[in-house]
Chains A and B, each alone.
Chain A
């Protein structure tokens, strides 16, 4: 095989894997949008908040330590030195479920029947509030998140692929981050679990019923509020997984919340209402971005296309399919 072809394959593989990361975030959006019709802009901040909380539990930080110390002149820092990963993850999950409950109680309950745009704005407010609370609780410094997922380039793959190139060519093997492989595996498990859950459990069926038709679901005795809390909790859980992955890769910091902006083109590409759409959209955007960076990016001497390329790509798709690839067909009546 020629070096160009090998490079191409490497790029596509890496693109697919970063696409999985986008899909993880987009999945949270889609779940909430389907079940409650809310376009939850705070999904990215959810991921940040979950990652911050996880690190906080792991290292035993006292919540609101900065604030308490500044107000009362005390000097609290840590409860304990460390906590097992497993326990910390469970506790974070509990926190995210509590958060979902609080959000339903304090925000969503009062905004039933409002315009979608109002709900959207409310989630932007939520994003700001949650970001501020996260910073107040755990401090805004960049934190290292390590839950024992290996990372770094895969030596095995590098050695396995180095022989594929033609004899004597200048090729050093493929570089693939092990973390991304793990992320892919975890994402696949997550999606399969979700699919099984929504297909074969009673709650899962109720979930799908609500996504299908709110009023019909209400009339057969499904509690909308329970379902909403459940959906937000599941999204919180997905956000936690995404937060762990992204946090391990680049540290837990404010920029983590911007992955929401990365996931938006995935959403409009795949369609707001489709779970397969979120996954395939994520993969397409991931691959497209990486390919564009290498094959088009060269023409602009400045590079860094990735900020907007995904959007333009999604936009082009939209011009042909205004509801995204897999979204519900938009039927308008007067």
Chain B
């Protein structure tokens, strides 16, 4: 009843190829955008910004990036933390060398630098596949983190090895640094996420995205029908790394402000959680990247609330519980719905079409 496509005729190819072909989807998406842009900025406070919204937006970007590589192109990567570190440290270095450059441009350039690094570390994917490649991408994770930790040039020879962001303005309002108001950091991330999200969605629908999927489904067959593996795999690595690099830049500049590379970009704090996001959200689904990010960002908060505030466990025990439940949830998800939250959503849509008269 509520969600039916009956009566919505398409008379042009353009309308048939729209991202949201149904009027209901359009309404839902516009409402979401309306709330995100025009309501949340006025009601946001520092807790919501720091604990939920900004990390959600940043990890959505990272999840989109990894989803392009793993979900659409089929190349499993465990090096997300390393690439995010590249984004963060490029931002830092560019900030120190060009104090007057706009922060938006800095973030995008950091993405481009990460893309270049991604191409470099994507080269082995032409020779090796599957688990061998997954383990090989760990090399980039360990190497990059080691590099940023051990070569003092990257952190400007500071004694602590930390990098700290300085204040940058957009339209006269600080978006990075300690004085940035919650709505500014939130909007800054939101704009980037919306723009890059649409770009990714369209890339996936383009020739490039289709060749990624061809390589994912069967690389030899794809090569035979004329999809160049070199170009396709490396473009997936480049674009995926661009997104992850931008996410890393935001993670450092907007979200944390000061980071220490071995802690902030560890395999356990970034690489695996982002991989969980796309698995739980749904491999090869844009919506899944967002749902997965939302799930993984809010889960620890919810668990902590239940266990520390309601049951009254100590923080350490709650942490152990959190790890256990996290692991169990992963397994349960994989058993019950290996295609993730995005699949649940499409099942729900199917059900909504026939509601309230299912047959």
User: Chain A interface (Cβ within 8 Å of chain B)?
Assistant: 39, 66-67, 70-71, 106-107, 110-111, 114-118, 120-122, 124-133, 135-136, 140, 261, 264-265, 267-268, 272, 300, 302-305, 307-308, 311-312, 314-315, 318-319, 322-324, 330, 332-334
Contacts and interface: CB of A to CB of B under 8 A. Distances in A.
10 contacts: A66-B316, A114-B334, A114-B338, A118-B338, A126-B331, A129-B323, A132-B320, A272-B131, A302-B151, A304-B146
Nearest to B136: A315
A165 B240 CA distance: 56
B224 interface: yes
B301 interface: no
Contacts of B135: 264-265, 267-268, 311, 314
Interface in B307-339: 311-314, 316-317, 320-331, 334-335, 338
Would you call the interface of chain B mostly helix, strand, loop, or mixed?
A: helix
Q: Which 6 residue pairs across A and B have the least CB separation, nearest first?
A: A129-B327, A125-B330, A132-B324, A128-B327, A311-B139, A132-B323
A128 B330 contact: yes
B320 A322 contact: no
Contact of A132 (B221, B275, B325, B331): B325
Given A127-B327, A128-B330, A302-B150, A121 B279 contact: yes
Interface in B326-357: 326-331, 334-335, 338
Contacts of A124: 272, 275-276, 327, 330
Nearest to B151: A302
Contact of B322 (A107, A132, A264, A267): A132
- The binding surface of chain A is classed by DSSP as helix
Contacts of A120: 131, 134
Interface of B: 76, 124, 127-132, 134-136, 138-139, 142-143, 145-146, 150-151, 218, 220-221, 224, 267, 272, 275-276, 279, 311-314, 316-317, 320-331, 334-335, 338
A311 B131 contact: no
Given A70-B317, A125-B334, 10 more contacts: A114-B338, A116-B130, A128-B330, A129-B324, A131-B324, A268-B132, A268-B135, A311-B138, A314-B135, A318-B136
Contacts of B328: 125, 129
A324 B329 CA distance: 34
Contacts, number: 147
Given A307-B146, A311-B143, A128 B136 contact: no
Interface-central residue, A121, A131, A312, A333, by most chain B CB under 10 Å: A121
Contact of B139 (A118, A131, A140, A312): A312
Most buried by B among A130, A311, A319: A311
A71 B275 CA distance: 34
A71 to B, nearest CB: 7
Contacts of B311: 71
A67 B314 CA distance: 9
B324 A318 contact: no
Contacts of A311: 135-136, 138-139, 142-143
Contacts of B279: 118, 121
B303 to A, nearest CB: 11
A333 B220 CA distance: 8
B330 A319 contact: no
Contacts of B314: 70
A136 B320 contact: yes
B82 to A, nearest CB: 10
Given A120-B131, A261-B138, A322-B128, A107 B150 contact: no
A304 B136 CA distance: 19
B317 A121 contact: no
Contacts of B224: 334
Contact of B275 (A121, A126, A303): A121
Contacts of A303: 150
A126 B143 contact: no
A261 B141 CA distance: 12
A334 B218 contact: yes
A267 B76 CA distance: 17
Nearest to B74: A117
Contacts of A116: 130-131
B220 A332 contact: yes
Contact of B334 (A111, A129, A307, A324): A111
Nearest to A313: B139
B313 A121 contact: no
B317 A67 contact: yes
B288 to A, nearest CB: 14
Contacts of B221: 334
B327 A125 contact: yes
Most buried by B among A110, A125, A140, A268: A125
Nearest to A132: B324
B132 A318 contact: yes
A131 B323 contact: yes
A182 to B, nearest CB: 29
A121 B134 CA distance: 12
A208 to B, nearest CB: 22
B268 to A, nearest CB: 9
Nearest to A130: B327
Nearest to A307: B142
Residue among B139, B316, B329 with most chain A CB within 10 A: B139
A128 B320 contact: no
A130 B330 CA distance: 12
A107 to B, nearest CB: 6
Nearest to B335: A110
